[in-house]
Amino acid sequence: MDVSVVIPVYNEFDNICRLYEELNAVMRDFGRSYELLFIDDGSNDGGIEHLRALAASDPCVKAVLFRRNYGQTAAMQAGLQMAAGEVIVTLDGDLQNDPADIPMMVEKIEEGYDLVHGWRKNRQDKWLSRKLPSKMANWLISRTTRFPIHDLGCTLKAIRREIARELELYGEMHRFIPILAHQRGARCVEVVTRHRARQFGTSKYGISRTLRVLLDLVTVKYLLDYFASPMKLFGQLGLVCTAVAGLAGSGTLAMKVLAAVDMTGNPLLLLTIFSMMAALQFFSLGLLGEVCARIYYTTQPKQNYAIRETLNLTAPDPDADFPRFQRAA
């Protein structure tokens, strides 16, 4: 299988058949073996019957039907894990992404990139409720993660399968796929893609979603910089609190010795005690985080590095808990 197209859908009754026709025409002309993998996220508008009919009439159409609505991130994770293609393309089921961009993105992958993500440069959405919050969130995310990107919200992406299988998505993490893949050493590139106004159905996203994305940004920042060694974060905070406690304690002692100031209710004394307690808490969190990180890596077939290729070494067994390399004969 050359290409898997993963399409999360939720209550897109009017769009499913139209999207299938466009995708089928594009992929047939592209000349690569393909599958269309629809992930139904608990739709209740009758769209599942469309998927059943399409799967019965076309073996290239495959579908995963969730028991209830779990959210786009869960649907995306399921699609990435179940796709069989060497290249996995993801796009929305609302017809706003143009399937005609898929061949261009797959060809970019064939040039040597691991992930190609779209940039809706001329986005056809409402300015106040969609475009403005998106621009602000993209700017903040780019500055925080130091990953240059214009449009993290574009679902249209092409990913090598081995990269997709390494991703662990939850919350609203699907929009951070390029950043998480870049952390694993993937070569990423952003390309301008077409964007169309929604014709049928209603959008499932609102301005309130921006808050959830910003909260997930805190998690992503932690995963990028401190997941493998949490003490780097909590230890630094503990040292700052220790320094504050030392300064406040010195000031308290000086006031007592030199000016005979009564310590009862002295703000500096209270600050000293509070800072010492906070420092102890941060150091404890750092140690607990270090233990959890060690447990994560030692009890699962996980590793905090990613190998692109080996030279004169046999490939490791991907199912082994502790892969071992041997020199090739």
Same domain, 113 and 165: yes
Task: Say whether pLDDT at 133 is over 70.
Answer: yes
Same domain, 132 and 71: yes
Strand partners, 188: 115
Same domain, 26 and 50: yes
Strand partners, 64: 39
Same domain, 159 and 95: yes
Same domain, 121 and 217: yes
Which of 199, 225, 251 lies at the terminal end of a domain, its last residue? 225
Same domain, 116 and 255: no
Q: What are phi and psi of 104, to 5 degrees?
A: -60, -40
pLDDT above 70 covers a percentage of the chain that reads 87
Which residues, at least 6 apart from 269, have a Cβ–Cβ distance to it below 8 Å? Answer: 248, 252, 263
> DSSP letters along 219-271, please?
HHHHHHHTSS-THHHHHHHHHHHHHHHHHHHHHHHHHHHHS----TT-HHHHH
Token match 């991907």: residue? 318
Same domain, 123 and 220: yes
Same domain, 129 and 160: yes
> Nearest-CA neighbor of 134 among 125, 144, 146, 143?
125
The whole-angstrom separation of Cα 51 and Cα 38 is 8
Over residues 56-113, the pLDDT tens digits come to 999 999 999 998 888 888 899 999 999 999 999 999 988 999 999 999 999 999 999 9
Residue 168 has a pLDDT of: 84
**Predicted structure pTM score:** 0.77
**Stretch 183-208: mean pLDDT:** 81
> Nearest-CA neighbor of 9 among 35, 37, 28?
37
Same domain, 220 and 269: no
When mean pLDDT is compared over 120-124, 169-173, 204-208, the highest value belongs to 120-124
The whole-angstrom separation of Cα 129 and Cα 51 is 31
CATH of the domain at 35: 3.90.550.10
Q: Is residue 242 very low, low, confident or very high in pLDDT (cuts 50, 70, 90)?
A: very high
Strand partners, 8: 39
pLDDT, the chain, mean: 85
Provide the domain count of the chain.
2
Q: Is the distance from CB of 266 to CB of 255 less than 8 angstroms?
A: yes
Residue 329 has a pLDDT of: 45
**187-219 per-residue burial string, b: 16 or more CB within 10 A, e: under 16:** bbbbbebbbeeeeebeeeeeeebbeebeebbee
283-288: which pairs have CB atoms within 8 A and are 24 or more residues apart?
283/234, 283/235, 283/238, 285/230, 285/234, 286/230, 286/231, 286/233, 286/234, 286/235, 286/238, 287/231
Higher-confidence position of 5 and 201: 5
Whether 313 is covered by a domain: the verdict is no
- From the number of C-beta atoms within 10 Å of its C-beta (0-12, 13-18, 19+), residue 69 rates as middle
Whether 247 is covered by a domain: the verdict is yes
Task: Say whether pLDDT at 328 is over 50.
Answer: no
Alpha helical stretches, state H, the chain: 16-30, 47-57, 72-82, 102-110, 132-145, 161-164, 177-183, 209-225, 231-258, 267-299
Same domain, 285 and 251: yes
Same domain, 236 and 217: no
Token match 């399937």: residue? 99
Domain that holds residue 151: 3-225
Strand partners, 35: 4
Dig out the tokens for 83 from the structure: 């796709």
Whether 179 is covered by a domain: the verdict is yes
Whether 221 is covered by a domain: the verdict is yes
